Amino acid sequence: MAVREIVFDTETTGLHPNGGDRIVEIGCVEMLNHIPTGNTFHVYLNPERDMPEEAFKVHGLSSAFLSDKPVFSAIADAFVAFIADARLVAHNASFDVAFVNAELARLGHAAVEEQRVVDTLAIARRKHPFAPNSLDALCQRYGIDNSRRTKHGALLDAEILAEVYVELLGGRQADLGLAEVRSADPVRTRTATARTLVRPAPLPPRLSEAEIQAHKAFVGTLGGTALWATYLSDGEERAAS
């Protein structure tokens, strides 16, 4: 059975959800079995109050920019429907969940329950107890590109956190997160069985048709025994089936 998780982040006007501060941005990334599906939820929100300078320096969202954005009540139903009953993953999750629950409480919605929340900061602190565990520090540790993160942004941070989360769970370097390998003998290497996990929806192609044809032309110069020719042949057979 597929495990659905929502990696999410919020940006706010401050630190106190019950003291007048509000959410100004929500970003969510859907994952199935720890693989991003491509489905996201992202919205900027009008906090119906001023933007403190300290908060603006963190995320760069001004009162003027947010003035024509929807208020939370206008998107609450869509947000609740998107997260549904999925496990929720956040970095320093108590902060984000407190703000989400404060917004939901104002509208009479049920709160997000603590048992469905995964805190990646807590995981990181257990795994790296004497190291810095900010999102930027974890990106550096695991070789994740965060160069676009010049300021905090909810959707970008959620996308980066999804990568960090997989690394915290053990990473994909050994099996790319696509197979489970069990050995019958822990001492000797024997024949292992693998179960391939299939994406629920294929990722959109990133190559243009011109790039694909240029690559085929290049492979053609390598000769009939080139390894790439095998991959191209397999890909064409799958496309034709």
As a whole number of Å, the CA-based R_g of the chain is 22
Return the beta strands (E) in the chain as ranges.
4-12, 23-32, 35-44, 87-90, 117-119, 179-182, 193-196
Catalytic residue among 91, 109, 152, 215: 152
User: Facing residues of 90 across strands?
Assistant: 119
Query: Would you give the distance in Å from CA 45 to the centre of its chain?
Result: 20
The rounded distance, in Å, linking the Cα atoms of 192 and 163 is 27
Q: Is 152 a catalytic residue?
A: yes
The tokens 């602190």 sit on which residue?
125
Beta-carbon contacts of 8 under 8 Å, excluding residues fewer than 6 positions away, are 26, 27, 28, 29, 83, 88, 89, 90, 96, 154, 158
Q: Which amino acid is at 77?
A: D
**Annotated catalytic sites, by residue?**
152
